[in-house]
Amino acid sequence: METVLTIQQIDGKIADLKRQLLALEPMHPGSLSSQYHVCGKTGCKCTAAPKPQPHGPYCKLNFVHHGKFTCRFVRADVVGEVTALVATFKTFRQLTDEWVSLSIARALLGPLARLERKTKNVPPPKSPRRKKQSQGNQPAQV
Ligand SMILES: [Zn+2]
């Protein structure tokens, strides 16, 4: 069962997330993968029979930013550094996702809180979909 937090508790958690976000080191979106390559040149080890040895592995960084997919080769000497950048980005995403979840919970306790019914005889508020249909019931402005 989910624990119900107060607005004050949510604000405290959001403040903590902000502190963690400020402490983040440089980052980069994406994921790393390895790739082998066959150049196909005659006499090269990559085409040798019976046991061809493809070139590599080469490290690649794949990411999507603003809807554009990009793939970059990563030099072997900086794979560790790029791995750290990607890990930091993953942390950034987790923290901001948590922030959004807390913001939604906070709004439900604040401006998006359900209207309290004064008596049991008052019908519950209509859902947003039905609300659209009932707009015709509003008095026309003259
Ligand atoms: Zn080759």
| 69 alpha carbon – ligand 1 mean position (Å) | 27
* % pLDDT > 90, the chain: 74
User: What pLDDT is attached to residue 2?
Assistant: 66
| Residue 132 placed within a domain | no
User: What pLDDT is attached to residue 4?
Assistant: 85
Give me the domain span that covers residue 24. Answer: 7-113
User: What pLDDT is attached to residue 115?
Assistant: 75
Res 140 pLDDT > 90 = no
User: What pLDDT is attached to residue 126?
Assistant: 64
| 76 alpha carbon – ligand 1 mean position (Å) | 19
* pTM, full prediction: 0.71
| Residue 50 placed within a domain | yes
- Using pLDDT thresholds of 50, 70 and 90, give the confidence band for residue 69: very high
Closest CA to 35 of 60, 52, 64, 53: 60
The b-or-e profile of 24-33 (16+ CB within 10 A means b, else e) is eeeebbbeee
Judge contact between 31 and 25, C-beta under 8 A: no
| 51 alpha carbon – ligand 1 mean position (Å) | 13
What is the count of structural domains for the chain? 1
| Residue 118 placed within a domain | no
